[in-house]
Amino acid sequence: MSSTPRNGNGVLETATVSSSGDHGKTDTVDEPIDHALERRAVLKLDLTILPMMSLFYFLSFLDRANIGNARIAGLQTDLHLTDHRYQICVAILYVPYMLSELPSNLLLRKIGPHLLLPAVVTAWGIVVTFQGFVKSFSGLIVVRLILGALEGPMFPGMVLYLSGFYTRKELSLRIAFFFSTASLAGAFSGLLAAGLSNLHGAGNLPGWSWIFIIEGIFTVVIGVAGFFLVPRTPRQSRFLTDAEKDAILRLLERSKPLDVHVDKFSVKQIIQSIISPHVIFVFIIFFTSGSIVLGLSNFLPSIVRQLGFTPTKSQLLTVGPLGAAFFLTLISAYYSDKYNTRGIPLVICSIITSIGYIMYLSSRNKYILYGSLFFTVSGSYPMGPLGAGWAANNSEPHYRRATSIGLGFVASSCGAILSTWRFPTKEGPRFTKTTITTLVFALATGLVAIINMIYLNRQNQLKIKRREELLAPYADDNEKAGYDQKKAWIELGDRHPDFKYIL
């Protein structure tokens, strides 16, 4: 399958799209490309799919990280938690979270994202609401375990879901759009927590309880709405006309030839993903960046508090760095898509993050220390969507892509578990050991990104040289292309010579 280059001016062009003949052979038909229709259809997806996905992830991050706000609102004192026990409560969530990420991604197509995603949102909203009524350490542990199992499917599931709606070049910005709500969630959580803490005593409940209860109820409402607003595929969208649905499907077919050939689940596809060097490199990036981002998301209010600010002011001061992260996440993803690169923005973000940690190590002035958080937070938050886009872009077919995305988020969860033990109160506000470790992680993220770019570029060159060798096992004189295209695409996947890796 091939197409003429898109001129971007909305002029009708022709593309060669595949269709199945009566005898199972693949024929080609020239069809005009209406770029204006495609742009209108993609815009409709942006206005109908992305807001719901963004809201889902916003709530996921809010409901997972609000324990940090509840901590300085009195949770740790009221439940008589030592620092060690509090860290256990934060870390324990990521164990079931990590274990549920890959299986749920492999089941997403079978169950249907229009059912799975809203269901887990509704369920965890109920759990968060009940978290406001816990009275003991053991009760909090149980709630956090359940919450982790329910939230785990969300991020990898949404990345896999959106990869079926957008082309490879469009995907990173869309992931960044909903991921950037994580920084907004952190900022909003601080503002909301500052307000909800004033409900202390209402209903004979402490202020931190109301943080969980109000946010949990809101999550349940959004989860239920999702059952009516999340389509399974572009074809099932209630907001697209038939012509726009056809335009989206033709656009995806031109961009992602593998989507024409539906693969079946097999252990071989999972193994192929696990042993792919570029998947391993992105796995490392997910681990290092996940440790940085999730450590900051869980402990940013406590870090600011340790600098000497009051509890309420600490909640409010988290807004600035997280707001900066929101904008840098979108900007980095925009240029990542515009120039069709993931590695270079990752390197730039690793440098920005490293500058922040160097500032934090080299000063004792609390205002400079606070200012350094603008670099560490805003530099590290874009790494997530860039890494997720890289994993989704370079793994095919579906189940190999599902595995690569799922493994990436497993690595991120491992990094999150590590991060929960790196901010003991007694080491604040300097957290010297933690700062040095995260500085190394930030530098490692950039270094591994460079190595992965070199590797992927080399593989693209080898595909050109070895095209005939790679396709030789699939030779078929009865096919117009000279080989069995379906079998070649499904078995070779991203190793197919016509599949170009994105650097």
Q: Return the higher-pLDDT residue of 256 and 351.
A: 351
Which pLDDT tens digit goes with each residue over 385-439? 899 999 988 998 888 899 999 999 899 989 888 887 777 777 778 888 889 999 9
Structure confidence at residue 182 (pLDDT): 67
Alpha-carbon distance of 462 to 460, in angstroms, equals 6
Contact between 486 and 496 (Cβ < 8 Å): no
Tokens of 68: 């940090």
Identify the bridge partners of residue 90 per DSSP, sorted by sequence position.
none
Contact between 199 and 207 (Cβ < 8 Å): yes
Task: Give me the domains of the chain, ranges plus CATH numbers.
Answer: 33-248 (1.20.1250.20), 276-502 (1.20.1250.20)
* Out of 95-104, 184-193, 394-403, 413-422, least confident range: 184-193
Q: Give Cα 329 distance to the centre of its chain.
A: 12
Reported as a pLDDT band with limits 50, 70 and 90, residue 26 is very low
Q: Which residue has the tokens 């001129």?
A: 7
Task: Measure CA of the first residue to CA of the last residue in the chain; give whole Å.
Answer: 23
Distances (CA, A) of 302 to 31, 221, 299: 59, 30, 5
Which residues have a Cβ under 8 Å from the Cβ of 37 and sit 6 or more positions away?
Answer: 243, 244, 247
Give the residue among 374, 113, 131 at the shortest CA–CA distance from 231. 113
What pTM did the predictor assign? Answer: 0.80
Decide if pLDDT at 368 tops 60: yes
Tokens of 148: 């982790």
Structure confidence at residue 252 (pLDDT): 85
229: burial class by Cβ within 10 Å (0-12, 13-18, 19+)? middle
Contact between 442 and 415 (Cβ < 8 Å): no
Identify the bridge partners of residue 68 per DSSP, sorted by sequence position.
none
DSSP for 310-341 reads -HHHHHHHTHHHHHHHHHHHHHHHHHHHHTT-
Q: What is the Cα gyration radius of the chain?
A: 24
Decide if pLDDT at 124 tops 90: yes
Reported as a pLDDT band with limits 50, 70 and 90, residue 310 is confident
217: burial class by Cβ within 10 Å (0-12, 13-18, 19+)? middle
Contact between 204 and 319 (Cβ < 8 Å): no
488-493-495-501 Cα dihedral, nearest 10 degrees: 130
Alpha-carbon distance of 138 to 135, in angstroms, equals 9
Structure confidence at residue 177 (pLDDT): 84
Reported as a pLDDT band with limits 50, 70 and 90, residue 96 is very high
Most confident of 62-71, 109-118, 166-175: 109-118
CB-side exposure of 149: number of CA atoms within 13 Å? 7
Alpha-carbon distance of 392 to 165, in angstroms, equals 12
Question: Which residue type occupies 477?
Answer: D
Reported as a pLDDT band with limits 50, 70 and 90, residue 241 is very high
Alpha-carbon distance of 172 to 392, in angstroms, equals 9
Tokens of 18: 């595949």
Tokens of 44: 């409709």
Distances (CA, A) of 394 to 397, 449, 460, 488: 10, 14, 11, 17
Tokens of 42: 């993609």
DSSP for 85-111 reads HHHHHHHHTHHHHHHHHHHHHHHHHHH
Residue 429, preceding bond cis, omega within 30 degrees? yes
Percent of the chain predicted with pLDDT > 70: 91
Q: Return the higher-pLDDT residue of 493 and 18.
A: 493
- Which of helix, strand or coil describes residue 2? strand
Sign of the CA dihedral 219, 221, 222, 226? positive
Alpha-carbon distance of 145 to 446, in angstroms, equals 33
CB-side exposure of 67: number of CA atoms within 13 Å? 29
User: Average pLDDT over the chain, rounded to whole?
Assistant: 85
Tokens of 429: 């506000």
Q: Return the higher-pLDDT residue of 168 and 281.
A: 281
